[in-house]
Structure formats: structure tokens, C-alpha cells
Amino acid sequence: MPRIAIIVGSTRPGRRAESVARWVHRVASGGDRAHVEVVDLAEYGLPILDEPAPAAMGTYAHEHTRRWADAIASYDGYVFVAPEYNHSLPAALKNAIDYLYSEWGDKAAGLVTYGLQGGVRAGEHLRLVLAELKIADVRTHVALSLRDDFRFDDPRQPDTLTPPRHQEVLLLRLLDEVADWSEALAQLRRGAAGAARKLEARA
């Protein structure tokens, strides 16, 4: 089965991304298409990009970059959980993406966004970034509304995620698409790895 990372794309204290990621993980864990794990940006403590060489060179100078690169390289696909900040994606998520290059390539991704308008503008900006990194983002997009999909009336459980059934149906479709594309792109990654080995042997 492909290994899929659910990437928590916000590091803000009090963020709702954790509860969204837990929901994605719960729904995904009920299936048999992929092995899913939550990858939380907050646990990696990445500073503003501080690598002296472009990410495409793959010559990482810092331990925090190598740790992040090892984590991302180990997955076959991703589900990005991202809020919308000022009509775009969070700076912490963009920064984390920019740290790496080849580790992302020829893999699949799905988008789960949230905001007053479902975080759709964050999703559209994120698609442009992913395209540059050769990540195939699937068509289905889960857009959670802060008005309709979260509860704010219980002070003991602030910002509780309560998505209706149609959002779970969309999420299941998204997960299937990510699994399908992850499996299909695995052959492309194997071909690229073989070509790289041949080049090294000739050098």
C-alpha cells in the first residue's frame, strides 16, 4: 500500500488544523487503500528558509533540513491540511515546501482546506506551488467552512470540527484518488531512480 502523509499545514497556537488532520486520519484509517500518518509541521521547528544552496541541488547544510527531507521522502503521497490566511496558504507551509525539491517529485497530493469561504483560495495558490514541484494534485478538494463545519458553542471543546456527511464522502473520494495516483506514479519514480543510477555509473 502507498504511504500517505497528512501534513498539518499550520503552526499557529490554537490552530484548527490539528482537529482537521485528526478527522482526515480517522476517515482514512477506516479504509485499506493506503497507510496514513500525520506529519505536523510544528514538530519540525523549521526556521525561515536558511539553506545556502537551492533545494534542487539536494545539498542540505542543516540537520533540521535533513530531518524534514528524510520524512517527506519516505511517503508516496500527501494530503495537505491548510487554512486560508489573507487569500493564500500559511507562510509556515510555503516555507516547509520550499525547503525541498526532489523529495516531493512525481508524487500525488490532495487538498483539505478550511476558512470562511472554505479555504479555496489557499487551495488554488497551493496547486500552483505543487505543480512546480512535480506533485500531481488530485481534482477532488475538501473545503471546510468555518460557518458550517465547526462548532463554537461549547467552551469546553472550542472549534470542534463537525463536518456533515457530504464532506466525508468527498474526503473518501479524495483519498481514493491520492492512493490511485500514488500507485501510478510509483512506476515513474522507479524509472527516474534507475536512470539516475545509470548516470552515476557512467560518471
By percentage, how much of the chain surpasses pLDDT 90?
Answer: 79
**CB-neighbour burial class of residue 159 (10 A; exposed 0-12, middle 13-18, buried 19+):** middle
Band the pLDDT of 33: cuts 50, 70, 90. confident
Digit-coded pLDDT (tens) for 100-154: 999 999 999 999 999 999 999 999 999 999 999 999 999 999 999 998 898 766 5
- Taking residues 63-89, report their average pLDDT: 98
pLDDT: which is higher, 164 or 77:
77
How many domains does the chain divide into? Answer: 1
pTM across the whole model: 0.91
CATH number at residue 123: 3.40.50.360
Give yes or no for a contact between 51 and 61, defined as CB atoms under 8 angstroms apart. yes
The pLDDT of residue 19 is above 80: yes
> Domain range for residue 12?
3-202
Task: Give the C-alpha separation, 56 to 100, whole Å.
Answer: 7
The pLDDT of residue 50 is above 90: yes
Q: Give DSSP secondary structure letters for 22-53.
A: HHHHHHHHTSSS-EEEEEEGGGT-PPS---SS
What is residue 16's DSSP assignment? S
Handedness of CA 96, 117, 79, 7 (dihedral sign): positive
Give yes or no for a contact between 113 and 78, defined as CB atoms under 8 angstroms apart. no
CA angle 184–190–193, rounded 5-degree value: 145
